[in-house]
Amino acid sequence: MPGGGRRTAAGTVAGGVLLALAAAITPALAETHRTEPLPLERLFDNRAVSDDARPGEADFDGAGRSLSAQALAAAGWTPGRRIGLDGARLSWPRSAAGRPDNVRADGQQVRLSGRGDAVSFLVAGVGGTAVGTGTVHYRDGSRSTYTLTAPDWRTGPLSTKAVALPHLNTPDGPLAETARLYAVAVPVARGREISSVTLPADPGPGADLHVFAAAVREPAGGWTGSWSAPASGYTAVGPWTDRTLRLVVHTSTGGPRVRIRLANTFARTPARIGHASVAVQGSGAAAAARPVPLRFGGRPGTAIPAGAEAYSDPLGFRVPPDANLLVSIHLPGTVTEVPVHSRANQRSFLSAPGSGDRTGDLDGGTFTESLTTWPLLTGVDTGGGPGSVVTLGDSITDGDKSTVDANRRWPDVLAGRLREQSAVPRYGVLNAGISANRVVTDRYPGDGVSTDTGGVSAQHRLDRDVLAATGARTVVVFQGINDVRWGTPAEEVVAGLRAVAERARARGLRVVAATIAPCEGYPGCSAEVEARRAAVNTWLRQEGARNGAGVFGAVLDFDAVIRDPARPTRMLPAYDSGDHLHPGDAGLRALAESVDLRTLVP
């Protein structure tokens, strides 16, 4: 024996044990290595994207069908592009067409880091809607579970898609069928640092869940939402060629810094922004002082991919509270369709045809046309502050029938009350109301040019308009009249309100609900409508709060505030705008003044 050793029976047995242990340990080590968290791109095992000229190089669904690289590029979804979706920034895979670009979820561990309130996944189901349960792992050794739902890439709802593509590829050539991808956020433990996520296991026969990207949705630290207006539809305009929008918005809170959010929601092509600026309004389209340029990633402009959003860089600019700002946006190309908030109740401006970049203009002479919508602009944030209250609602929250240009919507009045007190934090107030919006069903289908700007349902827009809102602390849900007016059963409205509350609570928000106001005298507000409204309100009053142990943290009885005591099925005439559905200025003020501000505090 080498070294003069002597083999014994005991030694032989010991050697055999060691060999047996080694044989047992080796697979364990291999398993450990196999489950070591890896960057998502190193786990890619499926080819979803093909070049139109070589469709056979990818097979997303096992039948040879795939996404079109050309259609993705036309939407601005190019390899490696960072895409803002619902407050998260997700990277579209860098893979060239025909190379692995996604993973079929089957328990893989994905390296991920950061602190936030959610993890966002870019996903699609194949063979139907795919649902699975995964795990979030934290640096401190703790973990939490999540449920990930990926709608089908060919048949899933357009109202919740991140992007839609006009055709897909097959071995026989292009197929004129809409393909979809979805951004889905799942809640995580706030404040804990994430180290990795385990993807859902393969559920077996049935739908497959495919993941293209994942990112931690980090909170907007140091920012408060001061103004917002969600996209309510996608409409034809102009054409506008080389013109500048000058949009008037009203701040709820102020601060030493500002940034804006532009959103290309519902679009199929990128939105090109040449320049943008911000100023305090002087009179009309004229600024009180020279507008200050905004930048995007250090550049004067940007191109926002279809369905995505973009924030401007932080700008040192003193934003006054309770003031009108002018946000000017130069559109250098020709624009024929654009996402809008349709019922602005505020006059904004558009420069003369072919007038070019007027974002730096001090006077308003070149702004020869007026607008009653807010195109593209969905948010204005200010530096510092305690965070924001989001008001999720319909036309009453949107301010329909309030005085134009006067900022007398009930969320505006609520913002004033918050500014003028010190008992609770002076939150910003973000208006997420959309005229004609519903809790349960979509008015606008969520894709394509439409004259209907009633938005997708509150449930379908919750992530984008509430959960991703800057600095959101509390959401006030005042919605349901349009559902009961159009025949939705009360139990479905209740289920929708409950779902909104559960999802918002899971993301750490306080949820407050308001009872539905009366509408007797408005066309279609029949006895059947009143019965459905009363049933929803009964549930809200009896089960909604239950001394803090109910579905909501609190319930505001807006119905009791605004109804006529002598005839509770109709609005008090002094509060009625005249159409018997929408309160006028006095009624909107009464709603806001009835809110116990302490109910807004998480």
CATH of the domain at 578: 3.40.50.1110
Domain encompassing residue 254: 234-375
Q: Is 228 part of a structural domain of the chain?
A: no
In the listed set 375, 395, 424, which residue is the last one of a domain according to the structure?
375
Whether residue 66 lies inside any domain: the answer is yes
- Whether residue 16 lies inside any domain: the answer is no
Within 13 A of 89's CA, how many CA atoms are on the CB side?
10
- Report residues of the chain scoring pLDDT below 70: 1-34, 547-548
Whether residue 225 lies inside any domain: the answer is no
Q: Which two tokens stand for residue 487?
A: 């025949």
Quick check: is 226 in a domain? no
pLDDT value of residue 478: 98
Residue 456: partners with Cβ closer than 8 Å, 6 or more residues away = 159, 160, 442, 443, 444, 445, 446
Beta bridge partners of residue 389, listed in sequence order: 429, 474
Task: Specify whether 459 is located in the same domain as 497.
Answer: yes
pLDDT at residue 3 in the model: 35
Q: Last residue of a domain, which of 375, 395, 417? A: 375
Are residue 179 and residue 242 in the same domain, yes or no?
A: no
Q: Which of 151, 382, 361 is nearest to 249 (CA)?
A: 382
In-domain check, residue 33: no
208 and 258 part of one domain: no
> Are 252 and 350 in a shared domain?
yes
pLDDT of residue 547: 66
pLDDT, position 180:
98
Q: Quick one: pLDDT at residue 550?
A: 85
Residue 4, pLDDT score: 34
> How far, in Å, CA of 18 to CA of 484, rounded?
74
Q: Is the CB of residue 564 less than 8 Å from the CB of residue 570? A: yes
Tell whether 211 and 343 lie within a shared domain.
no
CB 252 within 8 A of CB 300: no
Task: Judge if 196 and 243 occupy the same domain.
Answer: no
* Residue 400 and residue 328 in one domain: no
Residue 570 resides in a domain: yes
State pTM to two decimals. Answer: 0.93
Q: Is there a single domain that holds both residue 397 and residue 366?
A: no
